[in-house]
Structure 1
Amino acid sequence: MLTNLVPRRQQRTASWIGPASLGIGTRALSIGDDFATSFAAVDYPAEVMPGWLDPLTSYAGRLDLALHVEPVPSNEAADRLRRQRARLESSRRRGFDRAALDDPDLEAAAADARELAYRVSSGAGKLFRVGIYLTVHAASEAELAIEAARVRAIADSMLLKLVPLTYRAVAGWCATLPLGIDTVLMRRTFDTEALATCFPFASTDLPLPREADSAVLLGTNATGGGAMLWDRWALPNFNSVTLASSGAGKSYVTKLEMLRSLYRGVRVLVVDPEDEYDRVAAAVGGTRIALGLEGVRINPFDLPRQSIGAGDALRRRAMFAQTIVAVLLGSTLTADERAALDAAVLAAYNAKGITEDPATQHLPVPTLADVVNELRDAEPSASRSIAERLTPHTQGSFAGLFNGPTTVETDGHLTVFALRHLPDELRAVGILLTLDVIWREISGPQERRKRLVVVDEAWQLMSLPDGARFLCRMAKSARKYWAGLVVVSQDAADFLGTDFGLAVVANSATQILLRQSSQAIDHVANAFRLSAGERAFALSAARGQGLVLSGSTRAAFASVASATEHDLVTTDPAEIAALSRSANIEELA
């Protein structure tokens, strides 16, 4: 045997380059331990939709599909179309002279040729020589015959005619290798629109994006192999809701979309209760604001930047003060308490010299301590009651978040508000404060751009009526300011069990459902009208798999990430520990 005369090192090198043996038959090849047969497409359907090749590209078996494209020069394309139109017109006139009936195929071909000629002459389209070749693989000759019959049946159902490459098996196999060489040369002329429908990397389960520069990769089709591109900015509103049980991969999917949106120039702001976005922020040069640490404060009485009139700004701040105080106290304010608080807030602004005059907007704003002092000085008992209940937030153990002016800036392409250092009693108010800061930024007068607001673990805010009401208002108004709200929650039953939660879902054009717990599946199935199959998939989906619901479109997907993306977005403790050890070893080296 010749291979025995080759040194082992060269044998191993040769195995990397090609198979150990190649047996050539009339229609099939034996490639090492593998068997393969090739086909060429020779006849195509008259009308196709984008992604029409998906049944073949997502075939469950091993199938290599190659699309060879060669542009036709404009002058040659025009000359060929002119000759083709002349032949078709000559055939039509010959039929008229013989008093023959109209040939529908001939009439359709003449109309298509005329339309294509005008598009090519005006530069609206071009011609391409396209060859489509397929190679089917199997472990034995018997399995190969079965697989080949299945592929041809799928092609026949698509009105795509495949012919075996008899006596050209090697050429067919080489044409489907990643070499970019058309060794078969069985081509068909396509125009630009027809060629675009052959794009093999888009799933037909989701609407194809209108603009390529705003779409992101959601994942692969969980029931096939096509990639699923998703464009939230092409939908009626830009909001989405992601619901999943713990450990299902909801943060993983969210961070992947966030990273890929950053590539597209989208400004991203994140409310992160569990410090899961730190590595992403550090990798892309984002800003991290850790509420709860010494010196990090947000003043809820900061006036918005937009110039909508001082009087309106003051009234909006007074109304938001009632929301923030209600969340701080953990109870709904009575009518007397709301009236007392409103008077105290306006008095605190007046004490700082801020009135309805727009010229006073630049003056330093009051803090929560100033409002508490005004409440203490007021006569009604409701004022003094609120002042006493707010004392821990101005002088006690919770005062660090409110005992001074705002010390954070939200500039940059990515801003992460980390809330892990906040005590549990202040977690909800921390989310509410950051959402208010974010809302004041996206509704400001600065240059409009696409912005994505991510609220992770939103159940913490939805558990409070005033916090849920604020999030609901944000979901309804975000679209006006070219912003998309991403609400992520693991407590699906509680989220969907409130009117505000259902309102947020109703104002989200996209819903992403990852694996659900058996306790919450009834709420989820009823809220989203899942079929029996979709319900079963939501219960048994693997990590990172789920359903995406967009209008009347529903599809199952599996998230995919590159090695670099995975290292940044994973929350698996074992993987994070391994990454930390590798980083420490590199530093020591």
Structure 2
Amino acid sequence: MTDVGSLLDVAGPESLEVHARALAIGAHLATTLVVTGYPAEVTPGWLAPLLNFPGHLDIALHIEPVPNPVAAAGLKKQRARLESGRRAGFTKGHLDDPEVEAAAADAAELAYRIARGEGKLFHVALYLTVHAPDEETLADQAAAVRAIAESLLMTVAPTTYRALPGWLATLPIGIDTLKIRRTFDTAALAACFPFTSPDLPLPTGAEGGDPGVLYGLNVVSGAPVLWDRFAQDNYNSITLARSGAGKSYLTKLELLRLLFTGVTASVIDPEDEYVRLAETVGGHVVALGADGVRLNPFDLPPSTPDGEDVLTRRVLFLHTFLAALLSTDLSAAEKAVLDKAILAVYTSAGVTADPRTWQRTPPTLADLATTLAEDGTDTATALADRLAPYTTGSHAQLFNGPSTAATTGHLVVFALRQLPEEVKAPAMLLALDAIWRQVTSRTRPGRHLVVVDEAWLLMRDGAGARFLFRMAKAARKYWTGLAVVTQDADDVLASPLGRAIVSNAATQILLRQAPQAIEVISENFHLCHGEREFLLSAGRGEALLLTGDRRHKVALISVAAPGEHEVITTDPGELAAQNRDDAPQADGRFHDELPGDEGGEWAP
């Protein structure tokens, strides 16, 4: 038979020395604090700062239910005591005591909830045991825990001459050796237990095994923040921040890490911020606005799903594209004339409703202008004149003619920096359409991400906003996520289409916000006071990650490895330093080469 004493010897410490307020447990010290006072109002998870204390802290919450008959009798006595005090004060001509009035009202409400079975009473005790290797560190750690507790409006006291029972009360044996308790109702207890953590739940991935990618570190606990957009209800995201807050940096960081997991991607890049990333990973850059780079808006998809009327869909898109190109909403008469002309130019090119003709060479914008001019009506002639800059004028090389750029690859970046501001919105729309045609005509299924940076350029245009909204609604059907990145919250949140795009994003990322925009952000994303203050004071790269169902929120700071940072940074000072390091000197050497490096080890 095994000796019980020997088992206890193994489980317990080698020695135990009891002092007035501390214990020497083996080679370290411990002291216990008792919570004797609680705040009047709390929110769920209010004990999380204690749970995330960086030192060695044991927290024990002892809960003992009170039988309903006992609770009802106790509340009846408490109500009678309060009522008698009120009446005694009234007969003596005293003014009402607000604290007594509030306590009486709370006791009455609680008594009715217990009588209806809507709640129960519990005896609750909360103990905190701090561990440290020496007396000085123990005093510092205990003071830090006391400061956190007092910041939560709790009152704590040391277990003077009861250090041993206090330590035993925080051991995982479920025995309350101190019994310094307060009475809680169900709602108050639910706010305390279970403890909530500022960390997101561990992702399981879309296929059960992929845990997502690293977004950064939790600013509260320092734990890694892993997130998988493809494991959410939809794969879309919205990223809002003021200029310079790090929104593009965080987006590029996620994109780079997703590429390592086999995700393919397409990027609308108005400022050429993703070009270096694409060149590093072997992606393809389509520099719209450069000589000889052109996309034909009349192109049909390379392959078509069975039963889908691709030609009709193409005609509808051309209405949207031409409205964006002409920077106006077309009237009913103009739409009728355009529809007739578009169908006519497709017929002239031999493209009809027969799917066998959809692989023929499509018409061009100049063919449409010619057909409109031949129509002879005032509306058609006016439309042809308005198309002249894009068919024979300054922008003809961008929109008029057959497509000259390939739009396939594991990463395709549409770089728009060389384009004038006046045509960036229609060019973005044309690039988005090229991406969408590739997504919907893929023969091999796979996860795909579409990034639209500086989306405000497109959102300020009604036709562009509608196209982006339709993509946000339909992307999930093709295992595709839409990542909208913008610095202008008003362009997104001020319109019904913009708010609909936000509501269709299961991943929502907010970085530092301007004071002028924080009210709109707070209202639309339902932020509390602490979250507002965090966004107003956040440093570069600090962000608030929200899930679309609002159940989980986490504050994080993006972190990148040196190799990742070198690829994705767009800081002008860092890029200038890299260019200086890469530039050859007068003797042909680079700056990082030392004299004598030509053939072997350099020695002074």
Q: TM-score, normalised by structure 2?
A: 0.67
Kept in 1: contact 2:198–2:554 (CA 8 A): no
- In structure 1, distance between residues paired with 2:360 and 2:243: 46
Structure 1's 56 and 37: CA in aligned 2 closer, same or farther, altered over 3 A?
farther
- In structure 2, distance between residues paired with 1:268 and 1:472: 19
- In structure 2, distance between residues paired with 1:432 and 1:391: 20
Structure 1's 372 and 572: CA in aligned 2 closer, same or farther, altered over 3 A?
same
Residue of structure 2 in register with 1:91 after alignment: none
The CA RMSD measured in Å over matched residues stands at: 3.2
- From 360, 382, 386, the equivalent of 1:389 is 386
Matches of residues 292-311 of structure 1 in structure 2 within 5 Å? 292-308=289-305
Cα shift at 1:576:
1.3
- In structure 2, distance between residues paired with 1:240 and 1:362: 35
Residue of structure 1 in register with 2:447 after alignment: 450
Kept in 2: contact 1:310–1:355 (CA 8 A): no
- In structure 2, distance between residues paired with 1:257 and 1:428: 25
- From 407, 424, 429, the equivalent of 1:427 is 424
Cα shift at 1:214:
4.9
Deviations 1:251-297 (A, max 9, x none): 01101100110111100111000011111111111111100001100
Pair 1:206-2:200 in alignment: yes
Structure 1's 579 and 406: CA in aligned 2 closer, same or farther, altered over 3 A?
same
- In structure 1, distance between residues paired with 2:310 and 2:566: 44
- In structure 2, distance between residues paired with 1:303 and 1:158: 73
Pair 1:335-2:332 in alignment: yes
Structure 1's 320 and 160: CA in aligned 2 closer, same or farther, altered over 3 A?
farther
- From 391, 403, 407, the equivalent of 1:406 is 403
- From 513, 517, 522, the equivalent of 2:514 is 517
- From 530, 535, 550, the equivalent of 2:532 is 535
| Matched letter for residue 146 of structure 1 | D
Deviations 1:377-436 (A, max 9, x none): 113221111110000001000111122111111222111110001111111011101100
Kept in 2: contact 1:493–1:524 (CA 8 A): no
Q: TM-score, normalised by structure 1?
A: 0.69
Residue of structure 1 in register with 2:557 after alignment: 558
Structure 1's 537 and 363: CA in aligned 2 closer, same or farther, altered over 3 A?
same
- Length, aligned pairs only: 435
Kept in 2: contact 1:310–1:358 (CA 8 A): no
Pair 1:143-2:142 in alignment: no
Residue of structure 2 in register with 1:570 after alignment: 569
Deviations 1:161-195 (A, max 9, x none): 59xxxxxxxxxxxxxxxxxxxxxxxxxxxxxxxxx
Deviations 1:120-144 (A, max 9, x none): xxxxxxxxxxxxxxx9889x84134
Q: Indicate the SS of the match to 1:517.
A: coil
Deviations 1:312-357 (A, max 9, x none): 2111111111111111110000001001111111100111111111
Residue of structure 1 in register with 2:154 after alignment: none
Residue of structure 1 in register with 2:102 after alignment: none
Q: Indicate the SS of the match to 1:487.
A: strand
Q: Indicate the SS of the match to 2:233.
A: coil
Kept in 2: contact 1:278–1:288 (CA 8 A): yes
Residue of structure 1 in register with 2:222 after alignment: 225
For structure 2, list consecutive stretches of 5 or more residues without a partner in the other structure: 1-15, 18-25, 31-47, 58-129, 150-165, 174-196, 594-604
| Matched letter for residue 578 of structure 1 | A
Find the structure with the greater CA-based Rg.
2
Structure 1's 136 and 371: CA in aligned 2 closer, same or farther, altered over 3 A?
farther
- In structure 1, distance between residues paired with 2:334 and 2:256: 45
Residue of structure 2 in register with 1:198 after alignment: none
| Matched letter for residue 558 of structure 1 | I
- In structure 2, distance between residues paired with 1:158 and 1:285: 61
Residue of structure 1 in register with 2:236 after alignment: 239
Q: Indicate the SS of the match to 1:409.
A: coil
For structure 1, list consecutive stretches of 5 or more residues without a partner in the other structure: 1-25, 28-35, 41-53, 65-134, 163-202
| Matched letter for residue 207 of structure 1 | P
Kept in 2: contact 1:59–1:225 (CA 8 A): no
Q: Indicate the SS of the match to 2:583.
A: helix
Matches of residues 1-16 of structure 1 in structure 2 within 5 Å? none
